[in-house]
Amino acid sequence: MNTERDSETTFEEDSQPNDEVVPYSDDETEDELEDQEPAVEPEQNRVNREAEENREPFRKDCTWQVKANDRNFHEQPQFMNTKFLCIKESKYANNAIKTYKYNALTFLPMNLFEQFKRAANFYFLVLLILQAIPQITTLAWYTTLVPLLVVLGITAIKDLVDDVARHKMDNEINNRTCEVIKDGRFKIAKWKEIQVGDVIRLKKNDFIPADILLLSSSEPNSLCYVETAELDGETNLKFKMALEATHQYLQNENSLATFDGFIECEEPNNRLDKFTGTLFWRKTSFPLDADKILLRGCVIRNTDFCHGLVIFAGADTKIMKNSGKTRFKRTKIDYLMNYMVYTIFVVLILLSAGLAIGHAYWEAQVGNFSWYLYDGEDATPSYRGFLNFWGYIIVLNTLVPISLYVSVEVIRLGQSYFINWDLQMYYPEKDTPAKARTTTLNEQLGQIHYVFSDKTGTLTQNIMTFKKCCINGQIYGDHRDASQHNHSKIEQVDFSWNMYADGKLAFYDHYLIEQIQSGKEPEVRQFFFLLAVCHTVMVDRFDSQLNYQAASPDEGALVNAARNFGFAFLARTQNTITISELGTERTYNVLAILDFNSDRKRMSIIVRTPEGNIKLYCKGADTVIYERLHRMNPTKQETQDALDIFASETLRTLCLCYKEIEEKEFEEWNKKFMAASIASSNRDEALDKVYEEIEKDLILLGATAIEDKLQDGVPETISKLAKADIKIWVLTGDKKETAENIGFACELLTEDTTICYGEDINALLHTRMENQRNRGGVYAKFVPQVHEPFFPSGGNRALIITGSWLNEILLEKKTKKSNILKLKFPRTEEERRMRTQSKRRLEAKKEQQQQNFVDLACECSAVICCRVTPKQKAMVVDLVKRYKKAITLAIGDGANDVNMIKTAHIGVGISGQEGMQAVMSSDYSFAQFRYLQRLLLVHGRWSYIRMCKFLRYFFYKNFAFTLVHFWYSFFNGYSAQTAYEDWFITLYNVLYSSLPVLLMGLLDQDVSDKLSLRFPGLYVVGQRDLLFNYRRFFVSLLHGILTSMILFFIPFGAYLQTVGQDGEAPSDYQSFAVTIASALIITVNFQIGLDTSYWTFVNAFSIFGSIALYFGIMFDFHSAGIHVLFPSAFQFTGTASNALRQPYIWLTIILTVAVCLLPVVAVRFLSMTIWPSESDKIQKHRKRLKAEEQWQRRQQVLRRGVSTRRSAYAFSHQRGYADLISSGRSIRKKRSPLDAVIADGTAEYRRTVES
């Protein structure tokens, strides 16, 4: 029992989750995670372990082998996998990307196969075969063939157009070019021709074609700057650096062509932030990590050229591994529609069976005894009944609407074009229209319950702007003139006096400029000097233009702000930094850079001024700066008040401070600093401890306030979606403080919101699990489950949880595999049974915990998950899909959102500056988050309403049409004779009743787009499935049944005993068929007029045009001329002209139509009068509503000094470039001889990796 208990994952872990770090990577092997070794080792395992240790060591996690410049190496038998039977292919993927489905040879067979997998299409194929059997057929073959060919043809053309677009996209990517070493020199090659082991050359602004090992570059120490926007949505540059040995040796074409390095590394996986491998070259091994790998999808920036060795290609690259599995998405209505078609199949079989039995009985009682009915065949009644069963399957086949699917596709295609053409979703700044990338999900946009959104680049612009600051207790940044008077309208500050100003900063406080230029308060100048000197930004100068490269957008914004205010960072070397102070260049010696990390939440720099003074400048989060301030700081409280104001305005803040250091104090500290810098173990901890000693007794200068600029209209969009009962969850890799800050900025969170964190809900879930366990037992399954809320009713709650806590709560934490080897001999049956039971208990426990978490999270008005991996984003979406059965939408802009986008029912890509990876995987795309409200509340709701109306009407008109045959059977001996002419049956769904219903499905709208946005509550009908469900389906069927009864029995009664005005009886079969058909066409077309809410000329023309078309075609088909040409196909010669010249027939038709439609009008009137829907009420008052003022965003009340939350601090999640600067690796220097590098062993490389 102890063993079983220990094997289960418990809630109490040895270490608490860390909110600051992203949890383990998605494919991380269990061997990489820490765990405790067992105290006692079984004897048998000890023997097995010793036997294993005697074998040749082999790293199980490094089985991917790459040989440079040797393509034949990767074609060896050990690298070949069996694909099919004896066909083998290399395990190394080529670099071609394939997203298309068909080629010229496979299109026709594959497309037909896919189409005939649809039940309705296959059914009609079987029906066509049955109609070819003379003994069975009751209808001409063309009645089925024509509609089937139309359906198959339209669908095939649509699929062909889609696949041609995929071919073009694939060719565009695969035919990009780069330089590859072939035959000893660089040659231009297409991306699809690149293979693992190739050495390639990339130039500035090139996309990286595969995952490559950086060998060398044009920059000092072979640095290479890359933009990773395609991967993570971040536009700030990141640097990679080659090994010292490859940097020294592999610079020219000849050396690269003779490079024969051998790499052993991990198998392809989706871990963007990790890489483990070893390069074996020149009898030396060099460790490889992620800092030396350039990933496919990134772009080379600020680097003239670089060389690399292809490690992973094509489908094996990390960006492709992160794409997730492509899922075939279908809407909720699709599934419901299929079940309804199956229901109709069952009804069809039951009706046919019943009528066949009736025919067998009638043959036995009447047919066999009526000499005038003898047909020359002596078949038994039961056999005749069997044949009639198939006859009725053919006659009643229109119960299953063959044109339903193609009509749905046409409507969806049209709705997709409306989205593409919507100018209100067009973003002119980047010439980006909205794009429906799929045509099969439009109506699902009207049923969304949950929206899962990325933060960076989706809610925000990923542009940091310097907005305000507090210096010496005084707040700057409001609209005021140089005399300190506030103005609501004032021109922005003119920075033309500053030669280094970039002209991009919009600032309106002229008083701050006055303070800087006058120098009355030295703290103001010192404030901006600190911003110019305390950072790890690197600079390039081109034609006197400064180009900054920052580790984070925040830091870049601060340095740019200092530059505009007159303190421009100009240049740096390993030991100096040059600043232009109001036009005067001064160079400072950099004595130490104390870099930022997520634990320190601050960075410092120690410089020696030209006068010889030593000063420390520090910036960081207010929580850590205030702990280290000198007791005598007069502006401490004023700055804290300013921080509260900035926090209430959702600005990202940093506190700035400094101190002067005595020479002797610095020398003592520097000895400790140098010792910690070369420590062989726990170097980071040792450095942090030394930093603490110097970063104390600081003097507060003030605080900065940066705006992480939201996209336009984000708060309004979130507010309207909330009113539509759509819940917003934000899933981001950003740190907790930043995510929380954005939550307040976009009004997802308010000051009244009670925020729960991971540790809070962990305790709640632990208690709930214990209660559930206590209630469990033998009789647990017989006790009905009672939903108990986690929180008391009332109150506004939000959940903010990090990726580490998410793994903890959802029992996703991985444990290390035991180093004890498994027993080699087979386990006993008892052991297998116990192991299986233990595994089932664990799975049940995990499933219960996940369901509890989803229930708890869904009780919150907002959920923010931060520091989550791409896989965790997809997992959260999948949990809500699985346990809430809710329709989900995911929206993002980077490659790290692709998995989430593919997992959700609807995926939306933001097509902005962050690349196109998310867009390529999405179902819909546009440029701004605010367009989401129009996509859902207008296009989504309209599409849902149109599709529901279309389906209800379609089922109605087909039942009204087909069941006339059923009533007619009672009067024709159940002989499967049709009640209509064959050509009428053929053209009914194709011509006579198709256009009005298609136009209703395309154009109808209950209220205008403006009213749809003004009243988001209208959206809930789709979420609750109110307009199309089984109840509505059966109401439509009942309506169709009643209509078919009226259509048959009123003309039947009128024809029963009658004489025409000319003395002739018009009660022949053909005249009866024409009368019913005419009444049917008028009824179903007028019925759609009653269903139409939005009348246009096109709708009216289609309704009356369909009726006119029916009469025109009928008179042509009943003419003598066409009968002479095709006597066997057109047998109703003269029927129409003979029947319809009788007023009695017209009166019968009018009476039939009136009885069909008047009850519908009465019911509609009563329902709109007594039980009006929200839509009905708005339609009634739409003129008054149009005149009213539009909805406006509520004004946020600013409460100074009472904010209970912390502002996010403006720093990156990662270290800056401090180590790069202080080591001098970014500075050009004379190269040392290669022999000296090799002789130095691997010590240098180990130091590089550790740092």
The CA distance from 307 to 297, in Å, is: 16
Alpha-carbon dihedral 900, 904, 908, 911, rounded to 10 degrees? 20
Across the strands, what pairs with 506? Answer: none
Alpha-carbon dihedral 903, 906, 912, 917, rounded to 10 degrees? 40
Please report, for residues 474, 495, 510, 514, 817, the alpha-carbon distance to residue 492 in angstroms, rounded to integers and kept in the order given.
20, 9, 8, 14, 63
The CA distance from 1114 to 1075, in Å, is: 12
What contacts 382, CB < 8 A, 6 or more positions away? Answer: 360
The CA distance from 206 to 186, in Å, is: 16
The CA distance from 594 to 596, in Å, is: 7
**Read out DSSP for 643-710?**
HHHHHHTT-EEEEEEEEEE-HHHHHHHHHHHHHHHT-SSSHHHHHHHHHHHHS-SBEEEEEEEEEEEE
The CA distance from 448 to 905, in Å, is: 9
* Structural element, H or E, at residue 387: helix 381-395
3-state secondary structure of 815: coil
Amino acid at 177: T
Q: Which residue has the tokens 């090992």?
A: 213
Q: Which residue among 454, 982, 1004, 1006 is the active-site one?
A: 454
DSSP classification of residue 949: H
3-state secondary structure of 155: helix
By C-alpha distance, which of 589, 597, 586, 605 is closest to 621?
597
DSSP classification of residue 912: B
* Structural element, H or E, at residue 239: strand 237-241
What is the bridge-based pairing of β-strands 754-757 and 797-802? parallel
Tokens of 258: 């003779």
The CA distance from 977 to 961, in Å, is: 15
Tokens of 528: 């901006």
**Taking the alpha carbons of 8, 10, 16, 22 in that order, is the dihedral positive or negative?**
positive
Identify whether the C-beta of residue 529 lies closer than 8 Å to the C-beta of residue 535: no
The CA distance from 657 to 245, in Å, is: 42
Please classify residue 1210 by burial: count the beta carbons closer than 10 Å to its beta carbon, then call 0-12 exposed, 13-18 middle and 19+ buried.
Answer: buried
| 454 labelled catalytic | yes
The CA distance from 659 to 628, in Å, is: 11
**Taking the alpha carbons of 426, 428, 429, 432 in that order, is the dihedral positive or negative?**
positive
CA 953, distance to chain mean position in Å, is 34
Across the strands, what pairs with 239? Answer: 225
Beta-carbon neighbour count of residue 377 at 10 Å?
A: 8
Amino acid at 729: W
Identify whether the C-beta of residue 1057 lies closer than 8 Å to the C-beta of residue 934: no
Tokens of 1027: 């307009």
Tokens of 897: 């959102």
Tokens of 225: 């700057």
Please report, for residues 176, 385, 450, 752, 790, the alpha-carbon distance to residue 185 in angstroms, rounded to integers and kept in the order given.
19, 82, 55, 67, 68
Please classify residue 253 by burial: count the beta carbons closer than 10 Å to its beta carbon, then call 0-12 exposed, 13-18 middle and 19+ buried.
Answer: middle
The CA distance from 744 to 1250, in Å, is: 39
Just list the catalytic residues: 454
